[in-house]
Amino acid sequence: MIHVANLAKNFTLHNQGGAVIPVIAGASFRVEPGECVALVGESGAGKSTVMRILYGNYLAQGGSVRIGGLDITRAAPREILALRRETLGYVSQFLRVVPRVPTLEVVAEPLLALGRPEDAAFARARDLLTRLRIPERLWSLSPTTFSGGEQQRVNIARGFAHAYPALLLDEPTASLDATNRETVLRLIEDAKANGAAIVGIFHDLAARDRVADREIDVQAFTPRLP
């Protein structure tokens, strides 16, 4: 499902004398449907960078990333957008939404964008928000005013609204209490059972051990400086 080959990434800081900082070189791995892979490595080793490249958020300088048959390092923006709509989900640590949009709509949006019927989309959103224990009185409010933990759960609900065949998870259980953590782990296990290929970053070691089938140490991809 996800096939990374010989990936390379540099940052060129034009406004700091054109310094070139290589961050990833020669990264290759595959994730099959129904498999969950955890990216591990020290802070700053490039876990998030890899995730962002997989999502098309960062440009790669070399190699290829094929997701569902599309090489996103060479794809046109609208192909990546279609991939994100239909195939590739991403639960980041930060919620980024238009202010004023009600929580229920934020969660249902991925389904609405796919053209799903409104009642089905909102039913799914209500189900997820209930499972993630967001009080119903908050559903009609914008999540921009919520606490960090609530925002995180809204973000997770949104990320799991559509059953993406490929899913990227950036610390999905961070800052959650035990009950909610359990719910999220169930959601991940369900997605796996449904055949999703998952790449995750988990600082929560118990969670990692429970859902991840194997680990990839991104320090192996850190370029050796001459």
- Residue 124 or 208: the one with the smaller Cβ distance to another protein is 124
Among 17, 69, 77, 135, binds another protein (CB under 8 A): 77
Using a 10 angstrom Cβ sphere, with 0-12 exposed, 13-18 middle and 19 or more buried, the burial of residue 197 is buried
Minimum Å distance from CB 148 to another protein? 16
Q: Under the criterion CB under 8 A, does residue 101 sit at the interface with another protein?
A: yes
* Contacting range for another protein; rule: CB under 8 A; set: 99-107, 159-167, 180-188, 207-215: 99-107
What is the token pair recorded at 93?
Answer: 């640590």
Q: Under the criterion CB under 8 A, does residue 99 sit at the interface with another protein?
A: yes
Kindly calculate the radius of gyration of the chain based on its CA atoms and give it in whole angstroms: 18
Q: Under the criterion CB under 8 A, does residue 78 sit at the interface with another protein?
A: yes
Helices (H) and strands (E) in the chain, counts: 7, 9
- Residue 38 or 88: the one with the smaller Cβ distance to another protein is 88
Cα→Cα distances 157→8, 110, 205, Å? 32, 10, 22
| SS3 of the chain: helix, strand, coil, percent, to 5 | 40, 25, 35
Interface residue list for another protein (CB under 8 A): 11-15, 52, 56-59, 77-78, 80-81, 96, 98-101, 112-113
